[in-house]
Amino acid sequence: MFKFLHTADIHLDSPLQKLERYEGAPVEALRQATRRALENLVELAVAEQVAFVLIAGDLYDGDWKDYNTGLYFVSQMRKLREAGVAVYIIAGNHDAENRITKTLRLPEGVHFFPTDGPDTVHLVDPDVAIHGQGFAAPSVRKDLSAGYPLADPGYFNIGMLHTCATGREGHEPYAPCKMEGLLSKGYDYWALGHVHQREILHEDPLIVFPGNIQGRHARETGPKGCMLVTVGDSGRAEADFRPLHMIQWEKIEIDATDAETGYDILDIVSNRIEELLKNNADLPLIVRVEVLGKTRSHLELTADFEHWISEIRSAGIDSGNGRVWIEKVKFHTFPHLENKTDRFADGPVGELLHYLDELQTDPVLLKKIGEPLNDLMSKLPRELRHGSDALCPDDPEWLSELLHQVRPMLLRCLMPGGDAR
């Protein structure tokens, strides 16, 4: 019997996503999170006395010019060498654009697979054959696995591959492959990387995405870590997830249907945060809040978004006992308007509502109304043109969301008394 760790997408020293500008953001903790998660990986490898560690791509995060990132990695690898743990790495798309990966000398016991074709490393005691190939360029569109050799008889065969598999939302379609192609190699375990969500694609043999070791933004929620793989005397592998993350990202959706006022929303937010704290040990949490539903509180919320965003953040601080920070608040609510707008259905208000409904569901129309905004983009500050909060006049989904926010403002101006509730 022997054990090994399968990890990927470490993205060491991944930059912050503009969080410095938010009051109360755990900036320093986030800066150090990927390093602390890597330290947890090293400690786990030593504690479990694993035979080796596999890193299936994206060790680094783009073209870093600071050698301290690479030197820190070397210091952690030296700890594994001293414990007798070898490390095998393939370059992913981010590593391929990183000069540190190409020039920094790594300690003995750390093996980088070539990028010009697949190679195989044979181990003795345990008898393992590890097959792998890294990315030679940031964008690889062909199926690298097609060139991998068939399994070597008498060995436990592992394939390392940085891939989108058959495609995963939110990930570039790099090195695509099919399940049939992977299975045809006859390997006992496929150690995949690139997809940041943990996923077991196949049970026997195991084909696994371990996910990344530390969530970096609101789309990377939940526990993050690696797979501890145990190979029994029968030669069959079993994989157990082991968390490594230092900060956990979460998203909570608030059903505002029964909320009469904005303060009812705050009560719901506080209750949900208390639930998160109970279920997540002692880790700090970064939370995105989305308020959803058809609610009588809609117009109160939309009348002053900034006020209610601040109130929700305050509720997070109050309920979170210093462990919760609200990263962003998004509103996707609708007003109770039927009774008051029915009598205007055939008039100008009804026509406006009908046109807004049509716009929100028609990508062609949305594109047309977004075109005039494109001319303004070059004149805007960089932070409004890049990143998660960027203006996106060529994105139908972004424009639809904008119309959703504008709708209640227009109705408040047009409805008698200025109150559409």
Whether residues 386 and 313 share a domain: the answer is yes
Whether residues 283 and 224 share a domain: the answer is no
Whether residues 230 and 255 share a domain: the answer is no
Whether residues 263 and 407 share a domain: the answer is yes
Whether residues 125 and 8 share a domain: the answer is yes
Whether residues 127 and 213 share a domain: the answer is yes
CATH code at position 87: 3.60.21.10
Whether residues 43 and 174 share a domain: the answer is yes
Q: If you average pLDDT over residues 148-175, what whole number do you get?
A: 93
What are 286-333's pLDDT values in tens digits? 999 999 998 888 878 877 888 999 999 999 888 888 889 998 898 888
Per-residue confidence (pLDDT) for residue 402, from 0 to 100 = 76
Q: Which of 243, 277, 312 is the last residue of a domain?
A: 243
pLDDT score of 6 more than 80:
yes
Whether residues 279 and 364 share a domain: the answer is yes
Domain with 145 in it: 2-243
Whether residues 121 and 63 share a domain: the answer is yes
Whether residues 221 and 282 share a domain: the answer is no
Per-residue confidence (pLDDT) for residue 421, from 0 to 100 = 43
Q: If you average pLDDT over residues 36-44, what whole number do you get?
A: 98
Whether residues 340 and 279 share a domain: the answer is yes
Q: Is the peptide bond before 205 cis (omega within 30 degrees of 0)?
A: yes
Q: Which of 185, 217, 243 is the last residue of a domain?
A: 243
Q: Which of 227, 243, 259 is the last residue of a domain?
A: 243
pLDDT score of 191 more than 80:
yes
Q: Per the structure, how many domains does the chain have?
A: 2
Whether residues 206 and 68 share a domain: the answer is yes
pLDDT score of 348 more than 80:
no
171 confidence band (pLDDT: 50, 70, 90): confident
Query: To 10 degrees, the CA torsion angle through 115, 72, 88, 92?
Result: -40
What are 231-263's pLDDT values in tens digits? 999 999 999 999 999 999 999 999 999 999 999
Q: If you average pLDDT over residues 210-224, what whole number do you get?
A: 93
